[in-house]
Structure 1
């Protein structure tokens, strides 16, 4: 029954709640008294929330990296005061501190964060700089994720710069505004003396903040990074930002990236910019992370936002979010002119070979890999290659096949580009993410054919990719050969440290079938001691295959190898019947005699 008074009362209550929230002010100050010891000092000021107690919470994970990392473990010396008086604090959950504020209007919280893990997803501080990954630094009021906040950075006395995608507060140095905590948690902050340069592409101002030095050429990077931005914007028809920030950490050996709404953090090798492999590797990383500006940050699975920062956020669609992005980085590198057509098709063929050569691809589907990212993807163990497949790798293969299927079905009129753009616009219009069914429906709408069987085989199933068929649509011939023709393999991987220790065995290999275990210490092979065997070869890495030992290399497929090991302090001997290598190599060749229809498919596929 409609009751005018009840409705009016409800409106007044909701208005009151909203007004109360609007009056709450949250501000942070971050300083660095002991950067050499890897600490940040954080002060959180809360006003306008007069309650008996206040709960503040730290996220347990960071969006884009699907693992509960327990950031709260690095918090120390948590204190709260009001009007100069110490307030009682009780930790009520692993990531929640309850402050008994006794209706105080202004509450000041102080805590320290230890930050000494080098990665793109975790905060790191030393005497040279501070990288503030926000989910590992800041806290929010329980139930008030949508509250605005300000952040003031007080650099250490030898630092002079702050780089972040947050909005600067006019007239206040190193002070920034976030409209809500989703924005704050999605805006990394670099503090130090980073080398900063800019370029404009697709009407957007881009800033690059380089930490750690390196042999990069700024002028060349400005031109080449802009080419990638332009190619990606062309697919989606618009660039959603007016400003974008690349934070680049250059190390002796670095890698990886993490996407954000208007920025990204990249890891790079500081002295690799002057080699073709190193330079193209960096540009490919730029292409990958920048594509997330659309795919995952805006065109996203429905489970990935609004975020639950206390728990895992499950989705079966990371094969689209990450796998398709891996596929598109190859497309953009080709379209921007950094790899030629032969390099393009062979890079994709190599991606297919990676999946074919991973035993876990026959066990775990792309959808399952996505869902289990939280328990397997970021926590691999010695058996992961045998029972799991990366949604990056499997998703890249699905992207290749799906793109070619769409192009072939539409005779070159449409491609996966059209699906991605349509889904981006759909998410923008509906203001929410997509479901798996909605993504499949859009693929079928664009292509005009059913993808039910395709989904069953490649998304939810574990079928091998029919790469010869799909590449054939584009007039590309793919040949397959054994990775080590005529040579046997043991299937045992080892590391050389305090002895030669088995680190993994491949499913159905000789080592697997005949009983070698992870953590076995190899003593001798066919009577030849490990020291004697290793003295005759030059190793480039402590991570080696047992197959590199000369005594193994001399064997034939079907021969028996005697391997003596020490297991739990006891010596054991195993007889390994050597098998052929199950791994394959793929070589893609563009057919000069391709039909007109095949050439049309290739032209649409390559986009050049």
Structure 2
């Protein structure tokens, strides 16, 4: 009986898989009203069997951006037909529509998507172009994520170009294929009149699609972006792509990026390319997102794929996926010649300073910060965020730096974090799955030849102070810390100007924290001096304004009293602050002229990778 039951189950599974394999899914996206920010989506499902209905779902988030965005909120006009006749549909959950096909073999579904959020993560459409972040545009039939699909784009008006990482269908203009929905959702699409140029690096053709104009030099970008590609490929030992697409949105003020399997979307300032500092920051963004081609898309935490598109996908390893990538963007820009040694070291020191001067770093570990990405205050700002949270980007970059130096020192300059990343990439490729935290730690220990248990307890799952002098000492670099504002008082209160001075943040354990100043308190006067007089010499707008920056405060001494008259919930109140020393620190670095051979070997392996 057991043998027959198993055999019967296998037959049933085979029949089910065959039925799903016969399903054909296609999309057509057009733009009747781009000026109103709408995409028209037609979804065709053929080869339907089984129940008298099919459920189609809209993802609630997009991989790489760990926030439930509820894309279904932008869908309207959902309807369906079978054989040319309207059929019944109903919404059965926040992101699920049930289509009753009544045993029809094929259905046509139509819906509209409103797209008017400017970011690299979300769709945006206007009369100049359409950017389709695929997870917010395309629905999938329940249980059919592994089904192939095709996408036809119907450009609007004078739009004549489509840029995407999707594979084109031969002989069909603006038509593309995805082997499954993971590929489709991981492939953004730019439609319009974008400026396109190409370069080849690491044996791979790269397309750059520039939207929004700008003062960029295409020939210079071809050379400089190729250098980044070569440096990244050198770490991992191969470039796994046949082609790669950069979609760059140039705006008045732009930034940010989102990685995809064989493409990325970058935000940039259209006038920033001529500024040396801004240009290097852009190349750093290129380096960051390109490194994700390996780290997170292929060398990935085990929780990040296959994806659940309806719920949060939790991992404690974003400090590796994002933090190490932030660290490597400085490595690549240094190795490619866009930063000198001093700038590279300064970038590392800057990350350490950010962590040590953030009160939340004493509360929130790198692993916990990663797990809590879904409630990350970077996406959902909170006035208390700095007191409770440390970014897995910044803390992860610091952990990567310390780990890198520890490995180089333990191996006497023979190995570095580069070797760990390469080995983990090939391990994931061989096993065809992501890694666990334990597996990553085991590889670090294998490469270094030493235990990292204490290191993990301090810097990954713990919140220990960073032993910066020890680790930089491995590379023959002296680092000392001093008070950020010697002999100057600090209140710990940040401000915004909104018809007066409004408290916008209070740092943990600061004078403002201990003496009861609250966020949203409106300051009327300081030591009897009205706000108008207090603000007379302050330049506005100033998004980084703090109470300490006001001359009436900065001229006082540590231990002095500061009397604030405030309004809280419509009631006047007087609060006295006792000024304390600024707890923040700053660093001084010095590269040793008399470094030992070991220190020089560590420094070379750490910085040069060889």
With the shorter chain as reference, the TM-score category is over 0.9
Q: Which residue of 2 aligns with 1:128?
A: 128
1:2 deviates by: 6.5
- 1:80-134 CA-to-partner distances (Å, cap 9, x unmatched) read 1111222111111111001111111111111111111100100001111110000
Alignment of 1:197-346 (within 5 A): 197-346=197-346
Report the equivalent of 2:9.
Answer: 10
Counterparts of 1:36 and 1:155, CA distance in 2: 14
Alignment partner, residue 442 of structure 2? 441
Deviation at 1:499, TM superposition (A): 2.1
Residue-by-residue CA offset, 1:477-536 (whole Å, 9 max, x unaligned): 112121111111111111112322111100011111111111111111111111111122
1:482 aligns with 2:494: no
Answer yes or no: is 1:32 the counterpart of 2:31.
yes
Q: Which residue of 1 aligns with 2:560?
A: 559
Render the CA deviation track for 1:170-224: whole Å, top value 9, x for unaligned. Answer: 1111000000000000000001110100000000000000011111100000000
2:75 match = 75
Q: Contact (CA 8 Å) 1:346, 1:587: kept in 2 or not?
A: no
Is the 1:497–1:542 Cα contact (8 Å) retained in structure 2? no
Whole-Å separation in 2 of the counterparts to 1:451 and 1:299: 20
Given that 1:359 and 1:387 are in contact with CA atoms closer than 8 Å, whether structure 2 keeps it comes out as yes
Give 1:6 deviation, angstroms: 4.2
Distance 2:467 2:544 in 1: 33
Partner of 1:426: 427
What whole-Å deviation, never above 9, does each CA across 1:453-496 have from its counterpart, x for those lacking one? 00000000000110100000000111212111111111111111
Deviation for aligned residue 1:354: 0.4
Please report how far the alpha carbon of residue 265 of structure 1 lies from its aligned counterpart in structure 2 after TM superposition.
0.3
Give the C-alpha shift of residue 553 in structure 1. 1.3
Cα separation, 1, equivalents of 2:521 and 2:155? 50
In 2, the alpha carbon distance for the partners of 1:246 and 1:227 equals 15
The CA RMSD measured in Å over matched residues stands at 1.1
- Offset at residue 540 of structure 1 (A): 4.4
CA distance in 1, matches of 2:321, 2:589: 26
Q: Contact (CA 8 Å) 1:334, 1:341: kept in 2 or not?
A: yes
Q: Quick one: distance in 1 between partners of 2:577 and 2:197?
A: 58
Residue 21 in structure 1 maps to residue 17 in structure 2: no
- Residue deviations 1:26-62, cap 9 Å, x none? 1001111111111111110111113301100000011
* Number of the residue aligned with 2:190: 190
The 2-side partners of 1:501 and 1:76 are apart by 40
In the TM superposition, residue 543 of structure 1 has moved relative to its aligned partner by 4.4
- Aligned partner of 1:465 in structure 2 is 466
* Cα distance in 1 for residues equivalent to 2:443 and 2:97: 45
Q: Give, in whole Å, the separation in 2 of the partners of 1:575 and 1:200.
A: 64
Instruction: Indicate yes or no: 2:583 matched with 1:607.
Output: no
How far does residue 259 in structure 1 lie from its aligned partner after superposition?
0.3
- CA-CA distance at 1:380 after TM superposition: 3.0
CA distance in 1, matches of 2:407, 2:104: 62
TM-score using structure 2 length: 0.98
Q: Distance in 1 between matches of 2:543 and 2:279?
A: 26
**Residue aligning to 1:99:** 99
How far apart, in 1, do the equivalents of 2:599 and 2:231 lie? 24
Equivalences, count: 607
Residue pair 1:496, 1:543 contacting (<8 A) in 2 also? no
What displacement does 1:7 show? 4.6
Give the drift of 1:376: 2.7
CA displacement at 1:539 relative to structure 2? 2.7
Q: Deviations over 1:415-434 (max 9, x none)?
A: 10111011100100111000
TM-score (norm 1): 0.98
Give, in whole Å, the separation in 2 of the partners of 1:332 and 1:555: 45
Matches within 5 A, 1:120-199: 120-199=120-199
